[in-house]
Amino acid sequence: MAVSDSSGGIYRKEGFHVPSLIKLKNERRQLEAIYCENDLCEKVEAETITNEELLQLDVDILIPAALEDVITEKNAPKIKAETLVEVANGPVTSAADPILKENGVFVIPDILANAGGVTVSYFEWVQNKAGYYWTEKEVHDRLEERMSKEYWAIFELTEKHDIDMRTAAYAHALSRIGKALTAQGTKDYFQNGKH
């Protein structure tokens, strides 16, 4: 497992105790290989690596979560991850996308991976309009249901049309926009007096 921040990363084949890393990062604003139990923390052995080296590790899942354009046509051929989840906005350039697809890297695009925050904002809007408030568990349950439904709908498009997840996500979104326009009336609908 490897993690990084703007200054570089740390790598440890055995992995890290993630809550300890988060605790230290929140308290000291630095990233160190540590293990904490209660208030007692100790350093653990880890390698220091560059962010470029981190992107090229042989891992199951790679999650670029901070900067855009970090995976380009230059380093895309060196990506060994089976799955790449874009948590940052636009971490994979358009030139890198086909290289990743050709190399068998399954990319979950930012438009899908980041949709949870926007979805919860929508839930808040709905609750405010209705004057009714859901419990945290209800919000999590609704979010999980919505995100799972959208993921599988997009995944089905990738399978059906042999396209990547990003293209499928855009196709799915455009289909929804089309249905919304038709349901509410298009320009032609209103100009021809059919309302």
Three-state SS sequence of 51-106: HHHHHCCCCCEECCCCCCCCECCCCHHHCCCCEEECCCCCCECCCCHHHHHHCCCE
Domain boundaries, the chain: 1-50, 113-188
Whose structure tokens read 């740390």?
Answer: 10
Task: Fill in the amino acid letter for 67.
Answer: L
The token pair at 138 is 């209800």
Q: What is the pLDDT of residue 61?
A: 93
CB 89 within 8 A of CB 111: no
Measure CA 78 to chain center. 20
- pLDDT by residue (tens digit) across 89-98? 999 999 999 9
Q: What is the mean pLDDT of residues 124-148?
A: 93
Residue 168 has pLDDT above 70, yes or no: yes
What is the distance between the alpha carbons of residues 92 and 100, in angstroms, rounded to a whole number? Answer: 9
Residue 81 has pLDDT above 70, yes or no: yes
Query: For the chain, what percent of residues have pLDDT higher than 90?
Result: 56
Q: What is the mean pLDDT of the chain?
A: 88
Residue 192 has pLDDT above 70, yes or no: no
Of all helices (H) and strands (E), which one includes residue 108? strand 106-108
What is the distance between the alpha carbons of residues 183 and 167, in angstroms, rounded to a whole number? Answer: 24
The token pair at 41 is 């923390």
User: pLDDT category, 122, cuts 50, 70, 90?
Assistant: very high
Q: What is the pLDDT of residue 22?
A: 85
Q: What is the pLDDT of residue 145?
A: 96
Q: What is the pLDDT of residue 183?
A: 74
What is the distance between the alpha carbons of residues 130 and 124, in angstroms, rounded to a whole number? Answer: 10
Percent of residues in the chain assigned helix, strand, coil, to nearest 5: 50, 15, 35
Q: What is the mean pLDDT of residues 160-177?
A: 92
Q: What is the CA radius of gyration of the chain?
A: 21
- pLDDT by residue (tens digit) across 1-60? 667 665 668 888 888 888 888 888 888 877 788 888 877 888 888 888 888 888 999 999
